[in-house]
Chains A and B, each alone.
Chain A
Amino acid sequence: MSTDALHKEFCRIAGPENVFSDASDLLTYSYDAALLPSQPPGLAVRPTTLEALGQVVRLCNGQGTPLTVRGAGTNLSGGTIPSQGGVVVVTTALNRILEINQEDLYAVVEPGVINARLFAAAQKQGLFYPPDPGSQAVSTLGGNVAENSGGLRGLKYGVTRDYVMGMSFFDTEGQLIKTGSRTVKCATGYNLAGLMVGSEGTLGVFGQIILKLIPPPAASRALLAVFDRVEAASETVAAIIAARIVPATLEFMDNFTIRTVEEFSGAGLPTDAAALLLIEVDGHPAQVAEEAEKVQEICRAQGATLVRPAADAAEKERIWTARRAAIPALARLKPSVVLEDATVPRSKVPELVRFITDLARRHDLTIGTFGHAGDGNLHPTIVFDQRDADQKQRVHQAVEELFDKALELGGTLSGEHGLGLSKTRFLVKEVGPATIAWSRRLKRAMDPKGILNPGKIVGS
């Protein structure tokens, strides 16, 4: 079967309006949010039913055509770039929330449902879907599961992995494989859902996904703590956890980020502070009151120069607006942005921050660091101009050194963005050659022709 024949079959399966073969349409499926060279696919198709999705997978496998599944295309590691061409399968039409079960606390969704839509639908029924990646307003749940996305609430509520109860996925023959269930407990068969989480589209194509929902916290309080030493901020993080308090969010901002945000939004942040912590505790009102009090005490004891609890909802909103402004503010400094997510055990955060400050100086780069201090997942954000080849080279060099440092500190290359194209070749440093070889055998068993998002995770 030729590309023409594949095109014809796709038109039959998905309708001609959902098949894209014009060079300009294909160009729009050649990139994602990672700063990497783009590669257009040979065809793109947007199935409107799961049945059609399965047929598309089977046809691609029959032809040995590479297949890359794409949701919103917000991946930060190039996972949705069809680096070997082939077919891009767009899931935006598979966007039905099939069930929200209030008694058994779960939702069943198609892979193209946007994270924020599930959050809102659950909220409407008095339930809570916690994973909140920065892209939540646009990114799809299929993509979140494929990347094991995290977010601000990771410390207390965990990441996407912790909410996947089960799923169905298509194998390369287009057969529907079921794993997990709608029950809290399930001890039947391999935990294939666990395997699929974070598999970046290399092992199967998601059908329905069963996600756990929880009751929302009844109350919450936010506060802002200012430090004149980065170490004092990270010691505070450790002290809060040591006091057996697990805040819902515990965010860090370095001085450069603080100054940039302040200049951008005039949020009233102290521009001379070495670091800020933005902390929110949630739960039962009595517990929240007690914990908020304790957190303030700890901050002061650890040498915070200022501790400002949000008096009301409006002030709380201002605190989080400042945090959300971090990326936009940094992004406006220069045309290009690399948002890293190397992650270390939280006790190593001060060392990592020191390293990054030094890294910026050594390579003459502008780096703002902020992120999820509570779980050791920082986002050193490098802003530069990609048209300047020398600068670009220095960025690559700095990123490699950052990876090495994170591993040296007992951390990981990626906390939440995945390996994609940008980090796959570094994986061996983290897990060793035996793990890579084993993963390749696993991949071959599940995808003998190597059609599923080739080049990602295990290389090609």
Chain B
Amino acid sequence: MSGITQLARLLGQLEEQLITCMRCGFCQSVCPLYGETGREADVARGKLALLDGLAQELLKDPQAVQERLERCLLCGSCAANCPSGVKVLDIFLKARAILSGYLGLPPAKKLLFRQVLARPALFNKLLSQAPRFEKLVAKPVDSLLDTSCARFVSPLGQRHFKRLARVPLHRLEPPRSTQAGSSGLRVAFFAGCLIDKLYPGVGQAALRALEHHGVGVEMPAQEACCGIPALSAGDTTTFSKLLAHNLARLDPDKFDYMVTACATCASTISKMWPLMCGSLAPAGREKAQRLAAKTRDVSQFLLETGLVGGEPPQAAEGAIPLTYHDPCHLKKSLAVADQPRRLMAANPAWRLVEMNESDWCCGLGGSFSLEHYDLSQRIGRHKLEHITASGARAVATGCPACMLQISDLLSQAGQRVAVKHYLDIYAETL
């Protein structure tokens, strides 16, 4: 059997899902990338046609299809708005895995994922050394946004980036297992890499909120990455390792919910762990399913359990205008949009002003931004315009990855708008 035929067979397992696309093209209206390029290969319908073409052996160049498939933010706007309910992200992630399996991972990614990311102890150790050297190569550019840029030509290009936290969350807040308080509830807190290493303050705000509401917290030692970077690259080997590592440290019998303040972790755990856990033993698969079902964004958890509720206070006179960006992984993946707004409304010092198109993707898309920085910035510019047009003095969101992108956009534009997590706003009331 020729290689292409073999690949076509593998892609054949996606046929049942691929055929549900009726080619209506409605995804064009919501795809942030297509909005910039107007190229059919950039929108979901085009990519689904490419996968179908490869599966039918109409196309003979898997590399070309892979390149086009990877030009995607994985924001899920298409899936959330698809009239036929095509599970676009499920298809894309599975296809990326099949194509990477067939073509092999690029050496740099392989090294990074298999030798570093898949080994959480080493990953933490490497990064704990980094802040010491960071100031040699980076110089601060904006104190409000706490961003820096490269001193020399660097792989980070023109970015204004957030520097690594001097002390990561897992050192500020050591592993714990506290009993349920007044709420009678216990949760596992899944911090996620970005909150642990860049935004530990957000993790601390989450822990304060949980403690305030009398929620017992389970925080395992040495939690690993949720796995989305590896999945995006089609590296199921690393993903399975990370998943197994996390499953070994999380026992769903010991808590009522698993909560996270990272939209991307919440979405990956809820949607992708059950979908991509096929290589695990039955017990592992069952555990992944159970953890997924218990996973909530912090705001979702606090509202759903009634720990926060009732009429919010009136905004104080002179309250500071604040706007909110809906992370794709909260709104489109998990339909969480109202909950963060309700949490923030509990703080009368701020007044929420909605920006236009608050759910238009910020343009980061994880590794998309590393490989297509220019496109990522072009998409982000709409977000920047909407934020500044709202007149808000701060922009809040529910995803540390969005926070990175928005900080970069504002910092480069010289806009003095603070970037916050909705938990930063809520925690001020506690």
Interface residues of A (CB under 8 A from B): 22-25, 27-33, 35, 38, 46, 72-74, 90, 92-93, 95, 112, 114, 116, 135, 137-138, 327-328, 331-332, 335-337, 385-387
For the complex formed, measure the closest distance between the CB of A366 and the CB atoms of chain B, giving whole angstroms.
Answer: 15
- Can you identify 6 A-B contacts, CB atoms within 8 angstroms? A23-B59, A135-B24, A138-B26, A331-B84, A332-B20, A336-B19
B-chain residues with CB within 8 Å of residue A385 when the two chains form the complex: 19
User: Is B23 on the interface with A (CB-CB < 8 A)?
Assistant: yes
> In the complex the two chains form, what is the Cα distance from A81 to B88 in whole Å?
24
Known: A24-B41, A24-B50, A28-B41. A138 touches B84 (CB 8 A): no
> In the complex the two chains form, what is the Cα distance from A138 to B322 in whole Å?
32
Cross-chain contact B25 with A72 (CB below 8 angstroms): yes
A-chain residues with CB within 8 Å of residue B38 when the two chains form the complex: 46, 90, 92-93, 95, 112
Cross-chain contact A24 with B25 (CB below 8 angstroms): no
Cross-chain contact B84 with A116 (CB below 8 angstroms): no
Cross-chain contact A331 with B83 (CB below 8 angstroms): yes
> In the complex the two chains form, what is the Cα distance from A335 to B84 in whole Å?
9
> In the complex the two chains form, what is the Cα distance from A437 to B40 in whole Å?
37
Known: A93-B38, A328-B84, A387-B19. A138 touches B29 (CB 8 A): yes
Which 8 residue pairs spanning A and B have beta carbons closest together?
Answer: A92-B38, A328-B83, A28-B40, A28-B46, A137-B29, A335-B19, A138-B28, A24-B64
- Count B interface residues, CB 8 Å: 27
Cross-chain contact B53 with A33 (CB below 8 angstroms): no
A-chain residues with CB within 8 Å of residue B24 when the two chains form the complex: 33, 74, 135
Can you name the residue of chain B whose Cβ is closest to the Cβ of A117?
Answer: B29
Cross-chain contact A23 with B60 (CB below 8 angstroms): yes
Interface residues of B (CB under 8 A from A): 19-20, 22-26, 28-29, 38-41, 46, 49-50, 53, 58-61, 64-65, 68, 83-85
> In the complex the two chains form, what is the Cα distance from A335 to B28 in whole Å?
20
B-chain residues with CB within 8 Å of residue A32 when the two chains form the complex: 23, 25
Can you name the residue of chain B whose Cβ is closest to the Cβ of A90?
Answer: B38
Interface of B is mostly: loop
> In the complex the two chains form, what is the Cα distance from A392 to B430 in whole Å?
64
> In the complex the two chains form, what is the Cα distance from A75 to B293 in whole Å?
41
Cross-chain contact A24 with B61 (CB below 8 angstroms): yes
For the complex formed, measure the closest distance between the CB of A20 and the CB atoms of chain B, giving whole angstroms.
Answer: 8
> In the complex the two chains form, what is the Cα distance from A135 to B27 in whole Å?
11
A-chain residues with CB within 8 Å of residue B49 when the two chains form the complex: 27-28, 30-31, 38
> In the complex the two chains form, what is the Cα distance from A35 to B49 in whole Å?
13
Q: Please tell me which one of the listed residues B25, B59, B85 contacts residue A328 in the complex, with CB atoms under 8 A apart.
A: B85
B-chain residues with CB within 8 Å of residue A337 when the two chains form the complex: 22, 84
Cross-chain contact B41 with A25 (CB below 8 angstroms): yes
A-chain residues with CB within 8 Å of residue B53 when the two chains form the complex: 24, 27
Can you name the residue of chain B whose Cβ is closest to the Cβ of A29?
Answer: B40
Q: Please tell me which one of the listed residues A24, A29, A31 contacts residue B23 in the complex, with CB atoms under 8 A apart.
A: A31
B-chain residues with CB within 8 Å of residue A35 when the two chains form the complex: 22
Q: Please tell me which one of the listed residues A23, A90, A331 contacts residue B22 in the complex, with CB atoms under 8 A apart.
A: A331
Q: Please tell me which one of the listed residues A25, A33, A327 contacts residue B25 in the complex, with CB atoms under 8 A apart.
A: A33
Can you name the residue of chain A whose Cβ is closest to the Cβ of B25?
Answer: A74
B-chain residues with CB within 8 Å of residue A335 when the two chains form the complex: 19-20
B-chain residues with CB within 8 Å of residue A138 when the two chains form the complex: 25-26, 28-29
Cross-chain contact B84 with A73 (CB below 8 angstroms): no
7 further contact pairs, Cβ within 8 A, besides A46-B39, A90-B40: A22-B61, A27-B58, A32-B25, A92-B39, A137-B29, A328-B84, A331-B85
